[in-house]
Amino acid sequence: MINGQTQNSVTSRYQWLILCILLLALIIVASLCIGAKPISINDIYQVLFSDQTGLTSTIIFEGRLPRTLNGLFVGMALGTSGALIQAITRNPLADPGILGINLGASLAVAIAVVFLGATQFSAFFIYAALGSLVASLLIFAIGSLSAGKVDPLKLTLAGIALGAVFAGLSSALILFNPLAFDQIRFWTVGSLDIRTLSVPLYIAPIVIVGCLLALSITPALNAFGLGDALAATLGSNPIRVQIIGLITITLLCGAATAAAGPIGFVSLMMPHIARWMVGPDQRWIIPFSFILTPCLLLIADIIGRLLVVGELRVSIVTAFIGAPILIYLVRRKGASSL
Amino acid sequence: MTQQSSQLSAVNTAETKQAALSTQSVTLAYEQNVIAKDLSVDIPHGKFTVIVGPNGCGKSTLLRALSRLLVPQSGEILLNGENIHHQSTREVAKKLGLLPQSAIAPDGIKVIDLVSRGRFPHQKWFQPWSEADQNAVELAMQATGVIDYAELNVDQLSGGQRQRVWVAMALAQETSLLLLDEPTTYLDIAHQIELMDLFQDLNQIQGHTLVAVLHDLNHACRYADHLIMIKSGQVIATGAPNEIVTEEIIQQVFGLSCLILADPVSNTPLIIPRGRKTAN
Amino acid sequence: MSAMTKNLLSKTLVLATALTLVYFTLFIGDDIANNLQDIWQLISGEADKYQSIVVWQWRASRLFSAIIIGAALAISGAVFQSLVRNPLGSPDITGFNVGAFTGVLIAIALFGNIYWYSVVGAIIGGLCAAILVYLFAYRDGHSGFRLIIVGIAISATLTAFNQWLSLTVSLETAMTAALWSAGSLNGMTWLRIMPATLLIVALMGLALLLNTRMKLLEMGDDTAAALGISVNKTRLIIMLIGVSLTAVATAITGPISFISLAAPQIARRLHPQKHITLVGSALVGALLLMSADFIAQHSMQNATLPVGLVTISLGGLYLVYLIIREGK
């Protein structure tokens, strides 16, 4: 009986998973088709698989394909890193924003603009990547090494504390410098809109490696969720899981922030939605997070394109779509448990 | 003379007959999740009442309702014959104390300070600490044997000592009725007995009416004057342990096959589970 | 005995720091008072007009604001930390600050940079956000978890809206708003701080009156209810007081972070029994904001930093220090 039930729910999870993958594929196609100039699927096929030049080809290769791929990889990275951060800190409210990683990237970009004279968005890419890398390493070092082990609460606190310092410093840098302020205000509102394929192609291998790493430790994460003592009893090594987890988070957050700027909230919200769909099993939460997050990002991006002529940036639309969903879900009966 | 004394005893029996606390066909539920329907129980005056039943039968819910923490969806809860929800919560707090499972000791608080917090319902805005407050706190700490630790921090105490401090806080409230939610959980056997003996003294010597939810059936049988057995939100049996505890009723309430002997110490029922190996 | 000496010592130290700060803030810089005689003239009212105005109108009102606002934020923090039984509890979970920023952005975009319009905008925006969070989180009572999640969702939406607005408006408007959101005591005058002071003092009085109930709530809802407290009502009132204190402070200065988080925790470490008391938190909060504002005024050669940037950076470093120290 019990066996049958588990079997059943596993089957239905697989069905959900396939459904979500189909949904993602559909959204990817839609993201290529929809825009100021609608392009038919047929034309897209032509452009992608035969050598064609012309307006349609330009729109696809220098507009829609880069931003769609960007949305796909950034979404995968954000969803996976969010789920991982929540698992590693054992805190359902943690995300790259709370951990201060985004703020580290912002500080690096602010330094680049103010002191190094960076003006191009393409130049921000490398500084943002560096910034989030250094920020995560600092946070993880303070949050774990001081205690001699990785302490979830200390990790969260260290993120909040260092994030505050980063935020204060970057504000101090740009508040008296109108030029820098102007550039930063655009960068800090995350966007998928890039004009070159090179960005998604840079981050693609990092994101894929990160997601595979994350998947590889999901069974150990389940054990880890039960507390250090029980995890050890179950034969998993909490320290190793945490270290792999932190490395993965660093890779994924760095890639996402570099490619799209800081996009908060989705990485907090999507793991919750995944958890409400499939229950508290990391082996399912993580795959669902990395399939569903790009869906949300790409839908938000499409809506942003359609809604405003000047185009609403994706992180803004995401919040407006995501927040009502989150409120609806948390108001459901029984959602108060995690 | 004889007439007078018979009148007096009549008054006495009337008073003991009226329940100190009772539920009148209440429906208890958390949101839509109904725990008990049409449930009526009486808590007799001056007795030590123990509520037992299997996990999830609604005994803790009943205790929450009796202590006015859970408002029934229908029916009434009477405290000394008056609806408990028609009295101000502070007035109720002068008559009825509760030792909840979920009590949290603030960091670094001293024993005497924690016990003193039990005086809240008796204090008025702006009125400083009175002599009555001081006496009540000292008596409570004496009765529970924690007066020697008065100046220590609560976090320095052992589990058994800490539980006594919480009892002292409830006692400082000076209520004639005291409700206890699984007070002996997490204590070792010696501390369990020590605490149960303390409750017995409070009941027999100081005249408190006690209501406890207990897991241990043998403790319940040994210490209770009045036993209430609950299953799935329904009262299955009530009365003195000697009268109601039988092998059949244990089978009915807990689904447990057992043997009942007379406890050689207290001559109350002693429940010996048969377990699987010897069941047949 | 040694604990008492230590306690006395820490109190003396705090007092001495406070007095030194008052002295430096009022009398140092810009050739206002070069010797004790000048200072005496200022105190007795014999100094010339310009010097009097600088010291008693500008510097003193700013110093007084730092004390009052610091105390208000600290008490608000202590109240929230007690309510959610978590050292990270803060009025921020109600979405107030983000909403206040929305209000200010709109006010500046519509009416330009006029101080009192920003104050009103902050109050309206903040209250609307807090009410929204409260209403959406309500469902047969409040669960802490639901409150936090709804707070995050509403804050995220408003942040997105604020970002959109910041990108849409002119650079100047965006910068003015950003300066406000950094939290600053620049331009504080007696006229600006006095109405807020009355409100803050009244709210502090209320908080002190409810102190006993707050302490009983810390022992768990059931215990508090058993002692005769109506838990939900009391919690709502206490929460309102906490939010109002932050609201008043934020409306007149912009959000100054970290005081409400750090002051109660520092006060706890200074207290002989390691308790968080309202009065202790208020004193530490006042001292913290005074020091931070002193640094804000004197750290840069020709500009005054918004004090919020100082509190957030130093507060963050202090927290890092605590984490490292407690690890050893």
pLDDT digits (tens, 9 = 90+) for B107-144: 778 899 899 989 988 887 667 788 889 999 999 999 88
Q: What is the pLDDT of residue B165?
A: 93
Highest mean pLDDT pick, A160-169, B209-218, C86-95, C273-282: B209-218
Please name the member of A160, A165, A185 whose beta carbon is closest to the beta carbon of C174.
Answer: A185
The arithmetic mean of pLDDT across residues C221-239, rounded, is 88
Q: What is the CATH number of the domain that holds A275?
A: 1.10.3470.10
- Residue C125: name the closest of C158, C103, C152, C144 by CA: C103
- Asked if C319 and A160 come within 8 Å (Cβ–Cβ), the reply is yes
Chain C, 194-233: which have a CB under 8 Å from a chain A CB? none
- Asked if C157 and A146 come within 8 Å (Cβ–Cβ), the reply is no
Min distance C39 CA to chain A CA atoms (Å): 34
Classify residue A118: in a domain, yes or no.
Answer: yes
- For the entire predicted model, the pTM comes to 0.79
The three-state secondary structure class of B201 is helix
Look at C90 and C73; give whichever has higher pLDDT.
C73
Any CB–CB contact under 8 A between C317 and chain A? yes
CA distance B257 to C118: 75
Write the pLDDT tens digit of every residue in C132-170.
888 888 776 556 667 777 888 888 899 889 988 888 888
Q: Which domain holds residue A111?
A: 70-81+95-190+198-331
pLDDT of A325 above 90: no
CA distance A113 to A119: 6
**C33 and C45 Cβ atoms separated by less than 8 Å:** no
Closest chain B residue to C85 measured between Cα atoms?
B106
Report the number of distinct structural domains present in chain A: 1
% of chain C residues with pLDDT over 90 = 23
Classify residue A109: in a domain, yes or no.
Answer: yes
Classify residue A3: in a domain, yes or no.
Answer: no
Classify residue A127: in a domain, yes or no.
Answer: yes
Closest chain C residue to B177 measured between Cα atoms?
C226
Min distance B248 CA to chain C CA atoms (Å): 36
- Asked if A268 and C139 come within 8 Å (Cβ–Cβ), the reply is no
- Asked if C223 and B104 come within 8 Å (Cβ–Cβ), the reply is yes
Please name the member of C140, C227, C273 whose beta carbon is closest to the beta carbon of B118.
Answer: C227
Report how many Cβ contacts below 8 Å link chain B to chain C: 75
pLDDT of C207 above 90: yes
pLDDT of B5 above 60: no
**B140 and B115 Cβ atoms separated by less than 8 Å:** yes
User: What is the pLDDT confidence band of residue A1, given thresholds at 50, 70 and 90?
Assistant: very low
Q: Which of C81, C227, C271, C274 to mutate to test the interface with B (most CBs of B within 10 A)?
A: C227
pLDDT of B15 above 50: no
Any CB–CB contact under 8 A between A148 and chain C? yes
Any CB–CB contact under 8 A between A182 and chain C? yes
Q: Cα Rg for chain C, rounded, in angstroms?
A: 21
Classify residue A41: in a domain, yes or no.
Answer: no
The arithmetic mean of pLDDT across residues B20-33, rounded, is 88
CA distance C72 to C245: 6
Any CB–CB contact under 8 A between C129 and chain A? no
Our separate counts of H helices and E strands in chain C read 15, 0
Q: What is the pLDDT of residue B224?
A: 94
Please give the mean pLDDT across all residues of chain C: 84
Min distance C241 CA to chain B CA atoms (Å): 19
Any CB–CB contact under 8 A between C154 and chain A? yes
Rounded to whole angstroms, what are the CA distances from C87 to C36, C260, C261?
44, 10, 7
CA distance C248 to B145: 49
Please name the member of C85, C212, C223 whose beta carbon is closest to the beta carbon of B100.
Answer: C223
Element spanning B48, H or E:
strand B48-52
Classify residue A153: in a domain, yes or no.
Answer: yes
Chain A, 10-29: which have a CB under 8 Å from a chain C CB? none
Alpha-carbon dihedral of residues A136, A137, A142, A144, nearest 10 degrees?
90
CATH topology of domain C64-327: ABC transporter involved in vitamin B12 uptake, BtuC (1.10.3470)
Min distance A325 CA to chain C CA atoms (Å): 9
A chain contacts of residue C316, beta-carbon cutoff 8 Å: 160-165, 168
- Residue A279: name the closest of A225, A203, A199 by CA: A225
Q: What is the pLDDT of residue B13?
A: 43
The residue to which tokens 């029996």 are assigned: B13
Encoding tokens for residue A35? 């825009």
Q: Tell me how many degrees the CA angle C165-C169-C172 measures, rounded to the nearest 5.
A: 125
Q: What is the pLDDT of residue B138?
A: 93
Chain C, 120-139: which have a CB under 8 Å from a chain B CB? none
The contacts of residue C212 (CB under 8 Å, 6+ apart) are B120, B123
Write the pLDDT tens digit of every residue in A70-83.
999 999 999 999 99
Classify residue A123: in a domain, yes or no.
Answer: yes
Closest chain A residue to C175 measured between Cα atoms?
A175
Q: What is the pLDDT of residue C177?
A: 87
Domain boundaries, chain C: 64-327
B chain contacts of residue C273, beta-carbon cutoff 8 Å: 108-110
Write the pLDDT tens digit of every residue in A253-295.
989 988 888 887 888 889 988 888 888 888 889 999 999 999 9
Chain A, 213-242: which have a CB under 8 Å from a chain C CB? none
Q: What is the pLDDT of residue A3?
A: 42
Classify residue A218: in a domain, yes or no.
Answer: yes
Helix axes A41-49, A2-33, angle to 10 degrees: 80
Q: What is the pLDDT of residue A7?
A: 52
According to the 3-state scheme, what is the secondary structure of chain A?
A: CHHHHHHHHHHHHHHHHHHHHHHHHHHHHHHHHCCCCCCCHHHHHHHHHCCCCCHHHHHHHHHHHHHHHHHHHHHHHHHHHHHHHHHHHCCCCCCCCCCCHHHHHHHHHHHHHHHCCCCCHHHHHHHHHHHHHHHHHHHHHHHHHCCCCCCHHHHHHHHHHHHHHHHHHHHHHHCCCHHHHHHHHHHCCCCCCCCCCHHHHHHHHHHHHHHHHHHHCHHHHHHHCCCHHHHHHCCCCHHHHHHHHHHHHHHHHHHHHHHHCCCCCHHHHHHHHHHHHHCCCHHHHHHHHHHHHHHHHHHHHHHHHHHCCCCCCHHHHHHHHHHHHHHHHHHCCCCCCC
Q: What is the pLDDT of residue A299?
A: 93
Please give the mean pLDDT across all residues of chain A: 84
**C116 and C91 Cβ atoms separated by less than 8 Å:** no
Q: What is the pLDDT of residue B277?
A: 64
